[in-house]
């Protein structure tokens, strides 16, 4: 049996949220192994450096590729990611060695009055501006309210919250997990029902990535693995991989506990919100990835293949600046 390391280098994006997530993982490790020396290595990513709308930036892994490279080239032992940012294929020779307990996967509405997220969006006046940088959120919003104006909303969470507070937009849609992890208890949010407003695959989960050959890291992070969170992430990532979902494809997937083990809900939409397909499937946790793929196949056979072809043929839709 391989000996556990006495020093650990964690690669992370340099954003405030990413570093908070890296420190969360470091704390989980050192709580079990107090003598382990942990260093966090900050990495600048393409997504951080390029301020254009995501749909205009070519390539995959906007927030993960450079971080993965630190592991693949030996400058870091592991990389900590927001699991939703990972591409379907990891860096060559790498694998996910740990998925800690997941936090809330749903989206929330900030601004737009009070009440639930749907109440807030429903109360907005026609033509009101709503900020988001997500094609999935754009599609879901326009499906609900085609009369609203979607504006491109880049920047870290604090910056986005400040834009809402000063009235740059009437409301914004964000992930609950990011707000919670940054401890922003001062923010009044309206939750969106994740079974109707389907989250991004693996939203709210963290993924620890390492070289497949590192049995010591498999042991170290395997002890921190949350079986339920891992199964959910495997199902949701398999769904997205089968649909070849990138940031320009409006899709969502959520796996949650059910009588048989997991219930998995999937969503595929059109960027302009006029067409969408939803379906769900259930099964055991041990077949999580198969459930995700099977759900994707069901959506494809229900017209999803034609919808995907149409979406991929579109030029990136225009998103006004806030």
Known catalytic residue at 160: yes
Name the active-site residue from 85, 102, 120, 163.
85
Known catalytic residue at 247: yes
Name the active-site residue from 154, 184, 278, 293.
154
Give Cα 191 to chain centroid, integer Å: 16
Q: Which two tokens stand for residue 18?
A: 């990413």
Known catalytic residue at 41: no
Name the active-site residue from 102, 120, 136, 181.
136
Are 248 and 316 spatial neighbours (Cβ–Cβ below 8 Å)? Answer: yes
Q: How many residues does the chain have?
A: 322
Name the active-site residue from 149, 218, 242, 247.
247
Distance CA 97, CA 223 (A): 10
**Residues whose CB falls within 8 Å of the CB of residue 130, separated by 6 or more in sequence, listed in order:** 112, 121, 124, 141, 148, 149, 150, 151, 169, 170, 171, 172, 173
Phi (first) and psi of residue 226, to 5 degrees: -105, 115
Known catalytic residue at 85: yes
CA diameter of the chain: 64
Phi (first) and psi of residue 111, to 5 degrees: 85, -170
**Residues whose CB falls within 8 Å of the CB of residue 103, separated by 6 or more in sequence, listed in order:** 176, 177, 180, 181, 204, 205
Residue-wise over 231-256: b if at least 16 C-beta within 10 A, else e? bbbbbbbbbbbbbebbbbbbbbbbbe
Axis-axis angle for helices 227-242, 288-299 (nearest 10): 30
Q: CA angle 22-87-44, nearest 5°?
A: 45
Known catalytic residue at 218: no
Known catalytic residue at 137: yes
- Owner of token pair 């099977």: 294
Name the active-site residue from 13, 137, 138, 237.
137
CA atoms within 13 A on the CB side of 21: 28
Name the active-site residue from 13, 120, 138, 160.
160
**Distances in Å between the alpha carbon of 253 and those of 15, 105, 179, 243?**
25, 10, 20, 11
- Residues designated catalytic: 84-85, 136-137, 154, 160, 247
């Amino acid at each position: 049996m391989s000996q556990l390391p006495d020093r650990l280098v964690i690669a992370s994006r340099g954003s405030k949220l990413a570093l908070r997530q890296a420190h969360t993982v470091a704390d989980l490790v050192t709580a079990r192994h107090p003598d382990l020396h942990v260093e966090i290595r900050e990495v600048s990513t393409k997504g951080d450096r390029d301020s254009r709308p995501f749909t205009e930036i070519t390539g995959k892994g906007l927030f993960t590729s450079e971080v993965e490279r630190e592991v693949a080239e030996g400058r870091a032992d592991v990389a900590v990611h927001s699991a939703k940012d990972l591409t379907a294929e990891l860096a060559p020779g790498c694998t996910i060695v740990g998925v800690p307990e997941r936090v809330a996967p749903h989206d929330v509405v900030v601004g737009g009055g009070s009440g639930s997220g749907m109440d807030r969006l429903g109360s907005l006046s026609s033509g009101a501006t709503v900020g988001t940088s997500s094609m999935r959120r754009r599609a879901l919003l326009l499906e609900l309210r085609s009369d609203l104006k979607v504006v491109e909303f880049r920047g870290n969470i604090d910056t986005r919250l400040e834009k809402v507070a000063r009235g740059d937009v009437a409301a914004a849609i964000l992930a609950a997990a990011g707000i919670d992890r940054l401890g922003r208890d001062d923010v009044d949010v309206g939750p969106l029902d994740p079974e109707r407003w389907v989250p991004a695959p693996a939203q709210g989960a963290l993924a620890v990535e390492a070289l497949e050959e590192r049995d010591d890291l498999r042991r170290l992070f395997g002890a921190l693995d949350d079986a339920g969170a891992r199964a959910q992430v495997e199902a949701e990532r398999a769904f997205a991989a089968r649909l070849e979902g990138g940031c320009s494809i409006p899709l969502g997937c959520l796996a949650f506990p059910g009588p048989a083990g997991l219930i998995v809900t999937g969503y595929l939409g059109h960027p302009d919100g006029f067409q969408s397909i939803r379906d769900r499937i259930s099964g055991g946790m041990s077949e999580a990835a198969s459930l995700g793929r099977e759900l994707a196949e069901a959506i494809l056979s229900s017209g999803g293949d034609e919808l995907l072809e149409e979406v991929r043929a579109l030029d990136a839709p225009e998103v006004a600046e806030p």
